[in-house]
Amino acid sequence: MPHLGVQTRDGIAEAYLTGSGPGVLFYIDAIGLRPQTERMADRIASWGYTVLAPNILYRSGTAAETSPAGDLKAPGAREAFFQQVPARLAALTPDRVEIDARAYLEALRAHAGARNVATVGYCAGARLAVRTANLDPDVVGCAGFHGGGLATEEHDSPHLGLQRARAEFVFGHADHDRSMPRDAVERLGRALDAAGLTAKNEVYEEAPHGYSMDDTSMYHEVAAERSFRELRDLLERTLRP
């Protein structure tokens, strides 16, 4: 399937579209829309789903411009690349995320042909996945893997919107993750319980932040494969009941 452009209020977001069947909105990590995330989208699509993976960083440039040119498995390469990431993520304010999410969902539903969809996010994309589920009650499944900042003490933390969500949630947190420490995992769990939502909220032991990305030095095969199993089961439960 080709790349396509999704029109948002602030411009055109390049997106990778693959597969057929019920819709899954795939939120990439902060490293960018690149061959690794496209391979992951293809794997999900192979289970029988339409997967849309937008370049969430489109305000900072095209997919090619915002993705690494070098090998992030090389010593220090990942850390060097991430020096430019905070400024890009700062552009993803909650109001902009909501605007973008509505456009992404519209595009996904047009291709999937069904209202009920699921969303999955990795790293920074996990926050976007949760905000999208909070926004739209027809998002029936939501997964977040090695996500950061999901349950902070800020007034606009993603977990504070869970009362509006109707999805089933699955979270696979990285172990010893400074962006999602154990107290934040517990805070997220309490919010999920208070909202009466069906959820898994688990820490993957010994798995580093970024464990699912096998084009970086943080890849952890056991945790990555566990996340794919959990996601596939979630999609089966929610999109093929």
β-partners of residue 17 are: 52
pLDDT of residue 69: 83
Phi then psi dihedrals of residue 191, to 5 deg:
-65, -40
Rg (CA), the chain: 16
Distance CA 46, CA 6 (A): 23
- Residue 214 structure tokens: 């096998």
pLDDT of residue 19: 98
Tokens 């798995």 correspond to 207
Distance CA 145, CA 220 (A): 12
Distance CA 186, CA 160 (A): 14
pLDDT of residue 50: 98
pLDDT of residue 198: 98
Distance CA 165, CA 216 (A): 33
Q: Residues of the chain whose pLDDT is less than 70?
A: 1
pLDDT of residue 163: 98
Domain positions in the chain: 3-239
Taking the model in full, what pTM does it have?
0.96
The top-level CATH class assigned to 3-239 is alpha beta
> What does the buried/exposed string (b/e) look like for 190-204 if buried means 16 or more CB atoms within 10 Å of the residue's CB?
ebbeebebebebebb
CA neighbor of 39 nearest in space, from 143, 122, 141: 122
The percent of the chain in helix, strand and coil, each rounded to the nearest 5, is: 40, 20, 35
Whether 14 and 52 have beta carbons less than 8 Å apart is answered as no
Q: Collapse the DSSP code of 18 into the 3-class scheme (helix H, G, I; strand E, B; otherwise coil) and give the result.
A: strand
